[in-house]
Structure 1
Amino acid sequence: MTSPRPLPTLVLLGAGLAALTLGALALHVPGADTVGSPLRANLFVGVVAVSVGVYLVAVRVVLRRDPPPAALGPVLMLAVGLRLVLLLQPPFLSSDIYRYVWDGQVQAAGINPYLHVPADPALAPLRDPAVFPHINRADYARTIYPPAAQVFFALVGRISASVTGMKAAMLLCEAVAVLCLLRLLAQAGLPRARILIYAWNPLVLWSFALDGHVDALAVGLLALALLARARHRDGLAGAILAGAVLVKFLPVVVAPAFVRGGRLWRPAIAGLAVIAALYAPYLSAGTGVLGFLPTYGTEEGFDTGQGFWLLAGLSHLVTLPGASARIYMLAVAAAFAALSLRVATRRAPEGVPDTVVLCRDVGLLAALATAAANPHYAWYYAWLALPACVAPSPAVIWLSAAPVLFYVDPFNERFVWPGLVFGPAAILAVRALARRRKAA
């Protein structure tokens, strides 16, 4: 008995993904800045979770049935169509994009965005009914976004000072990422239909097309950096990676993958030069150039340890010492430093394309760092889908999509509900490691 042909199967799964996405969108109450009610939010997450299941089946088809080149067209058509539908909707899972537009307006007025909170009377002339009322933390938090993001906000703001304009700009960043991924797949000799791993990811869809998170800019820059590194343009790769880091600091964790094989000084010097150049225009804010970042960790519970999944779980069993968060962070830092050193110094396995090794290392470093920090905002995990296209890993693919569950928090704590994401990820990682050792 022959298995179903991959192209018709993918078309059917794509239709299911589209129907579920539109069904989830229909649950939003028009005009509401959230889904609309706790019940609707729970139903929304349930429908999106089912779409993640459909997506995972599609990923399995792409990886195991070697789809024909003709599959690329339908895959991209669905990806573009769903993004256009979500682009035209107002953001309702996050209000972060209003801060992006605001920061662009502040810079258009010639003001350093790190100097004032949005509610500061000095910025009163900039307030408008379309953006200002929706800014979160407006009365106590200066912007948290690093300089590369601020430059982007300013440039987009010169074209369109609107939420839709900012979302469209983020989708253009995604388009850059997709084009880079297609070239990386071709360079690795892999089917280009694997772009589905990124393009159909429901968390990516909702995070970027609906809410327009700035992570899309980081994804676009990281994809460019990967392509430059795969083509042995080490200095350019280091410079672009530095730009991604100054969009959202987390991409710094993948730097060891870019210096593997002793390629250190050129990317390091280029990256440091970019960092200095991007920070320079904002240094009038002094130490305030870090914005809300120093306070953010406290707000998220990282200082007490309750913001970390593992410590939150242990706290249900024993009383944790006051230094538990510090101990956890030191242990994670030591383990990650050891892993980074290994990634940077080990030789690539024979018979595996350098592009695959690069993306595999990037996926490993990114997934472990993100899981260790375990932010409870879903969109922080979407970037993991990028390296998974070229070097797919079950644990990384799971972590790139399953956090759609974080759009609700039914138990108002950081262990039980997040465990539905981190538990399976840990099982998949251990299983993959056991298989690798067995094969060796």
Structure 2
Amino acid sequence: MTKRLSLLAILGVLLLALTVAGILVDPSAVPGPAHVAMLGWLVILLGISAAVYFLSVWWVLRAQWPKQTVWLVLGIAALLRVTLLTVPPMLSTDIYRYVWDGRVQAHDINPYRYIPVDPALAGLRDSRVYPHINRKEYARTIYPPVAEMVFGLAGRVWDSVNSFRLAALAFEALGIGAMLLLLPLAGLPRERILIYAWNPLALWSFASDGHVDAIAVGFVGLALLLRARRRHGWAGAALAAAVMAKFLPIVVAPALLRGGRFWRPAAAGLAVIILGYAFYSGAGRHVLGFLPTYGAEEGLDSGQGFWLLAGLGSILPLPGFAGALYVALVALLYAGISLALLRRPPPANDAYRLCQDAGLLIGVALVAISPHYHWYFAWAALPAVVAPSAALLWLATAPLLLIIDPIGNSHFLWPSLIYLPAAALLLVELRRRQAQPRPLPAATGEIACPLQSR
């Protein structure tokens, strides 16, 4: 047992050393063509980190561990995050918009009302945050109300990049804490929290760059825990809060509605959404911010922003309605999978199947939507803590490749390294689940997960 713990500690220290090496590379400090080269070196280091992470996950899942192992896992996780906090954000400038929106709200101004270059906000500009805001010349903020509330609170407490990075880590801690409470409900050991806590994509997305997706991580984890404890209304409210921080978690909703629980979570979630937008309703039609035009900028309207359509478009010309048709087909596929999940009676081990279903829905949505940015995928590691699958772990880690684009503005060839394996793994998972016998109706309480090997 001591030898196993020592090996796990060595893997954690190696992951920490690779993180320090990535910090020393620091592509943001290198201008011009050398910046691209340094990004390449950073991705190589992160690829090695991913290999160490996968080995750590495999080791944790296959071995039996003493109870104190979870403290080793959490200790390494904390060191990794503190290490990344010591340097400025390296891979994205999005956090500067968060700080700006917080500053605007600290001066009692609706963040949806003005673009940053508007003369009405000239008095808030500085040399520390303002120059780094992306799309400041033409875009209102795109972030939904719960995200804006967090920005506003962080801006009132401490007007700085580190203020929101600490807030992001606090929401990450909420998600990690929720999963630590959920694991025993599934009859699983708590050291499995390593699956999220050591994930390099989550580390660099949140501790380094402070992406808003961390808020969603906290609320999604809370929603899964509340649903597993049969607190259906509160679970719906928590998921709605996640959606109002980052729209993508809406794809998890069918997993929470299993077993005929619909009206209470739906009503609670709708109330959160309505109250959130009502809070910022003073901006009128601008309360949606940059969202209505975001799809056109990302190539989603034309269809070229979707991985699969980008590939088809490189072979033959696509009609103008290709994007709309693709979205409709994806919606039908997603609805079919959701209905299949909803029709199955709740199993005895509801906590495990809850996370398994949530993970499947997340995986299908991510491959179908094919985001262009690596941080969109980090939250996929959360349900994998309870119900790991090859597809989900791949999608929660491989998008580190999106940090670079060696082919040049390609939405198909380079992303294929991520989406082709993910699609294949999802098909295997879907076929395996289709072949499984229908579970019997749930008994009272939880039982140990039948897939656990201890």
Q: TM class by shorter-chain length?
A: over 0.9
Partner of residue 370, structure 2: 374
Question: Matched residues in 2 for 1:215 and 1:306: separation?
Answer: 24
Greater CA drift, 27-36 or 424-433 = 27-36
Partner of 1:289: 287
TM (normalized to structure 1)? 0.95
- 2:402 is the counterpart of 1:386: no
**Does the CA contact (< 8 Å) of 1:98 and 1:135 recur in 2?**
yes
Deviates more, 1:203-212 or 1:256-265: 256-265
Secondary structure, aligned partner of 2:299: coil
Deviation of the 1:434 alpha carbon: 4.6
Deviation of 1:362 (Å):
1.0
| Structure-2 change in CA distance of 1:436 and 1:279 (3 Å) | closer
1:415 aligns to 2:416 (yes or no): no
The 1:357–1:78 alpha-carbon spacing in structure 2 relative to 1, beyond 3 Å, is same
Q: Mean Cα displacement is larger for which, 55-64 or 207-216?
A: 55-64
| Structure 2 gaps, min length 5 | 438-454
Encode CA deviations 1:28-78: one digit per residue, 9 max, x unaligned: 157569996111011111110111111111111111223332321211111
* Structure 1: distance between partners of 2:181 and 2:316: 51
Residues 35 and 92, structure 1, Cα contact 8 Å, conserved in 2:
no
State how far apart, in whole Å, the 2-side matches of 1:216 and 1:435 are. Answer: 31
What are the within-5 Å matches in structure 2 for residues 125-164 of structure 1?
125-164=123-162
Equivalent in the alignment of 2:312: 314
Choose which of 413, 428, 431 in structure 1 pairs with 2:428. 431
> Structure 1 residues 256, 115: closer, same or farther in 2, change over 3 A?
same
Distance between the aligned counterparts of 1:30 and 1:307, measured in 2? 26
Task: Determine if contact 2:27/2:90 at 8 Å carries over to the other structure.
Answer: no
SS in structure 1 of the partner of residue 17 of structure 2: helix
Percent of pairs identical after alignment? Answer: 53
Q: Check conservation: 1:117, 1:140, Cα contact below 8 A.
A: yes
Q: Which residue in the other structure is 2:269 paired with?
A: 271
What 5-or-longer segments of structure 1 have no aligned partner? none
Write out aligned runs for 1:316-355 (5 A): 316-349=314-347, 351=348, 353-355=349-351
- CA distance, structure 2, for counterparts of residue 156 and residue 33 of structure 1: 31
Q: How far apart are the structure 2 equivalents of 1:291 and 1:226?
A: 29
What letter corresponds to residue 282 of structure 1 in structure 2? Answer: Y
Conservation of the 8 A alpha-carbon contact between 1:308 and 1:374: yes
- Equivalent residue runs for 1:201-216 within 5 Å: 201-216=199-214
3-state SS in 2 of match to 1:104: helix
Q: Give the alignment of 1:114-263 within 5 angstroms.
A: 114-263=112-261
For residues 331 and 313 of structure 2, the distance between their equivalents in structure 1, rounded to whole angstroms, comes to 21
Match of 1:107 among 76, 101, 105: 105
- 1:332-355 Cα shifts (integer Å, max 9, x gaps): 011111222222232134x5x111
SS of match in other structure, 1:40: helix
Give the distance between the partners of 2:300 and 2:189, measured in 1 at CA.
Answer: 42
Cα distance, 1:433–1:65 mapped onto 2, change above 3 Å = farther
Aligned length: 436
Change (3 A) 1:438 1:289: closer
Contact (CA 8 Å) 1:88, 1:164: kept in 2 or not? no
Once the two structures are TM-superposed, the CA of residue 437 in structure 1 deviates from its matched residue by 5.6
Note if contact 1:66-1:191 (Cα within 8 Å) is conserved in structure 2: no
SS at the partner of 2:399? helix
Cα distance, 1:147 vs structure 2: 0.4
1:25 aligns with 2:23: yes
Q: Quote how far apart the aligned CAs of 1:430 are.
A: 3.0
Deviations 1:344-396 (A, max 9, x none): 232134x5x11111111111111211221111100000010010101111100
What is the CA-CA distance between 1:316 and the residue it aligns to? Answer: 2.2
Q: Report the alpha carbon displacement of residue 429 of structure 1 after superposing the two structures with TM.
A: 2.3
- What amino acid sits opposite 1:77 in the alignment? G
Cα distance, 1:108 vs. partner?
1.3
State which drifts further: 335-344 or 325-334.
Answer: 335-344
Q: Does the 8 Å contact 2:60/2:191 carry over to 1?
A: yes
Whole-angstrom CA distance in 1 between matches of 2:116 and 2:180: 40
Looking at structure 1, the residues matched to 142 and 16 of structure 2 have their Cα atoms a distance apart, in angstroms, of 34
Give the match's secondary structure for 1:93: coil
Q: Which moved more, 1:65-74 or 1:291-300?
A: 65-74
Farther off after superposition, 57-66 or 75-84: 57-66
CA distance in 2, matches of 1:435, 1:332: 21
Q: Contact 1:207 / 1:213 at 8 angstroms: preserved in 2?
A: yes
Which residue type is aligned with residue 417 of structure 2? L
TM-score (norm 2): 0.92
**Equivalent pair of 1:114/1:288 in contact (CA under 8 Å):** yes
Give the conservation status (yes or no) of the 8 Å contact 1:308–1:414: yes
SS at structure 1 position matched to 2:397: helix
Change (3 A) 1:5 1:316: farther
* Contact 1:28–1:35 (CA under 8 A) maintained in structure 2: no
